[in-house]
Amino acid sequence: MAKTNATTTSSSSSNQSDMGLLLVFFPQDNKFHSTNSKSPTSKTTYSNNNNNTNNLILSKAQFTLSICALLFFITLLLFTLSTFEPTISNITPKPITPLITKSRTRISLYPNTALTTYHALQRMGTLYRRGTRAMHDLTICHVADDIDEHDFRLFVRLIHRSGLTATSDVVFLFSSRSISDSFARVIQQENNAFSSLVSLHREFEESESNFNLSLFYTNDKFEMAETLWGKRIRRNFSNVEEREGELPGIEGGGLLLSIGSVLSFDATELDPENSLAGFLDRVPMSLRRWACYPMLLGRVRRNFKHVMLVDVKNMLVLKDPFGSVRNRSPESVFLFTNKNSDKTRSKTQKRVNSGVVIGGARGVRRLCNAVVVEIVRAAIQRSKKKNSVSDSVILSQLAGNEFMRKGSNNVNIIASSESITEASSLVGRNSGTATSLLNHAIIERGADNHEISYVIKKQICSYMDSSVYRDC
């Protein structure tokens, strides 16, 4: 019995201990709520505390929402900026200002700041110099892989001095990116030299030289539309300062500087699949270029009226050759005979010189399409003698093909009986003068290329122009 009582007592003590724990946590809380329900002052205090807590939570929520909104706006802004077309490339051309400055003694075509290069067209190509206006003519110069720097520099320099860039944009077509990068420095140096040349002739109005500065000015403000190449910019030709810069010795003033763009494309951009590789073991640039022309001319078909295709390695441009085609129809194309062709051939059978093709933009584009087809056809027919296809032979065949003058082709091919003058005939004992050279718009370098290069360089360096060229 005593044991039972002891057990009961122990159980009671245990229960009391548990109840004590309950009294610590729950009864006091209940007492608090009971007190609050009975005391108005306590109720007011609790209400104020509750409001403060709600306000604090609301403030934190607003702050959090503000941070989220700010982060969202920043993210949206960065995403928007990242969608713009990138314009910086890995080479550095000099952007040209649209018009000349007020100063008569010094003209600054290029800023003395860090140079920037832009894509030429639709994220392709490299723009070395942005022209002052849209041009009607386009000159595409294909560059052979085996040309050396000296020959390439001479071609670029004469292009600038010839006055061709006053009416034409100039495109250099390279076989690969590595080749174009290797010649980019030469193009930029000659652009800078041309800028200095213009400055020099503006300062010395009565200078003796075979460089004609007046070719690069126009008073036709209606044709000063923005050039096609590069990033579009806004210009205000009503600005008085932009309309300044009249040419000395000519009344009326208001003449504007007219200079074309200088840019380049790689064959890997215009013909990424090398479409002729499936028909020929090796596709030289002289053939692959014909697969590049349709792509380029198709993209600019509404921007140019006349086009010239010229070989940098074998030809030199001394004057603007577009004068002979400006009054012709858009379908007209001039082809010149090859002076080195077999003398036993008749005039109608003489081989065409593929180094120069010039004519209306529509006719040149259609001719290029036809040449590509004929290259493939000739490669298939001569499968046993691959790499024997010649674009000169194909052009000669197309020149006498009546099909080219019918249907959708409709190309008016004018096969001139005259051949392009070879340089060797101009640097003989009684030749080589400035007058004899400037009588020809285009000449062929010929076998003795070093002699003609020497004669031309000597003529250029004989005048004050020598100060703008490093190699004079």
Q: Which residue has the higher pLDDT, 222 or 56?
A: 56
pLDDT in tens, 273-329: 999 998 888 899 999 999 999 999 999 989 999 999 999 999 999 999 998 888 899
How does residue 105 score in pLDDT terms, banded at 50, 70 and 90? very low
The two three-digit tokens of residue 170, written as one number: 């100039």
Low-confidence winner among 7-21, 214-228, 229-243 (lowest mean pLDDT): 7-21
Report the relative pairing of strands 315-317 and 442-444 from DSSP bridges: antiparallel
Is the pLDDT at 450 greater than 70? The verdict is yes
pLDDT in tens, 68-89: 777 766 766 665 554 444 433 3
Compute the residue count for the chain.
472
CA end-to-end span of the chain: 133
The two three-digit tokens of residue 151, written as one number: 């020959």
pLDDT value for 224: 62
- pTM, whole model, 2 decimals? 0.71
Opening angle at CA 305, ends 300 and 311, nearest 5: 80
pLDDT value for 385: 55
pLDDT value for 39: 45
DSSP per-residue letters across 99-135: S--S-SS---SS-SS----B-SBTTBSEEEE--SS--
Torsions phi, psi for 355 (to 5 deg): -70, -20
317 exposure class (CB count in 10 Å sphere: 0-12, 13-18, 19+): buried
Q: Is 31 helix (H, G, I), strand (E, B) or coil?
A: helix
pLDDT value for 91: 39
Q: Which residue has the higher pLDDT, 408 or 28?
A: 408
Over range 212-230, report the average pLDDT: 79
Max avg pLDDT among 77-91, 261-275, 319-333, 388-402: 261-275
Over range 357-376, report the average pLDDT: 94
What are the CB-based long-range contacts (under 8 Å, 24+) for 103-109? 104/202, 104/203, 104/248, 105/202, 105/203, 106/199, 106/202, 106/203, 107/198, 107/199, 107/202, 107/245, 108/199, 109/195, 109/198, 109/199, 109/257, 109/259
